Amino acid sequence: MYSLPIVLEATLNGLLTGAIYALVALGLTLVYGVLHIINFAHGAFLTAAMFAVWMAVTFLGVDPYVAIPFLTIVFFAIGYGAQRFVIGPASHGDDGNILLVTLGLSIVIENILLAVFRADTRTITTDYAFEVVEIGPLLISQARLYGFLAAVVVSGLLWGLLTRTDTGKAIRAVAKEKLGASLVGIDVRHIYAVTFGLGCATLAVAACLLMPIFYVNPRVGQAFVLVAFTIVVLGGMGSIPGALAGGLFIGVVESLTGLFFGDSLGQIGIFIIFILVLLLRPSGLFGARA
């Protein structure tokens, strides 16, 4: 069997990757919680954000971490616009339509990316890509550590936004009671768009954290969204603490399955967990009981 430090290292690496998964899941669960639909365009937006990071690094020479604030704002605006001017009007208030519109949007975005960037897989190079931090006997990739810290900070900020600000409270109010929200003067369409914008903004952050340790091609987002969807179900649909805990957990599961059964089988662990959750606790770890 493997020695303890190797297992510990794999666990730690899993936590670090899991934090980024959590970030992707956070946006998905937020949009689900308010609009009550799974946003099928989530993966495509993530891919687009990763290409944006790639361009910023390759053409402008900006460090991916420095690009975070700027891309967050840009993707908030893109998400806001997409919901307010495309998804909202095109779905005529029917949740089933929103689902299809986001699916259509994802196809459009992916094919635009394919047309512009071709199907090539691209990476960026940073000075610190191979730097490690030593924690006792463990070696931790610096880029992953940054990613973890940033994911925790962003989740904290999002939590603060939802619980401390009027806009955040309005988001939670609209999630459960639309008519009541309108009658206190909350503009429901605006809040929908803000929520969608926030979902895309978290993707921009995730993209900045991912690019130093991952690659991008026009279909890369799908893999993450599949994992993120598992996390959302595991944590409880619409639950933010659930997305965080679920993300970390899935990260560790993937890393340990990879360690014990080989890298190519790493994702099997995730989907076994997914099926178990659906069988044993369909409302998820933090989900409201039906």
Give me the residues that bind another protein (CB under 8 A), please: 166, 169-170, 172-173, 175-177, 179-187
- For another protein, give the closer residue by CB, 156 or 180: 180
* Distance separating alpha carbons of residues 249 and 269, to the nearest angstrom: 11
- For another protein, give the closer residue by CB, 136 or 185: 185
- Shortest reach from residue 155's CB to another protein, in Å: 19
Burial track 113-134 (b if 16+ CB lie within 10 A, e otherwise): beeebeeeebebebeeeeeeee
* Distance separating alpha carbons of residues 149 and 16, to the nearest angstrom: 9
- For another protein, give the closer residue by CB, 1 or 184: 184
- For another protein, give the closer residue by CB, 69 or 180: 180
- Shortest reach from residue 287's CB to another protein, in Å: 12
- For another protein, give the closer residue by CB, 22 or 170: 170
- Shortest reach from residue 165's CB to another protein, in Å: 11
- For another protein, give the closer residue by CB, 28 or 181: 181
- Shortest reach from residue 37's CB to another protein, in Å: 18
- Shortest reach from residue 93's CB to another protein, in Å: 13
- Shortest reach from residue 263's CB to another protein, in Å: 41
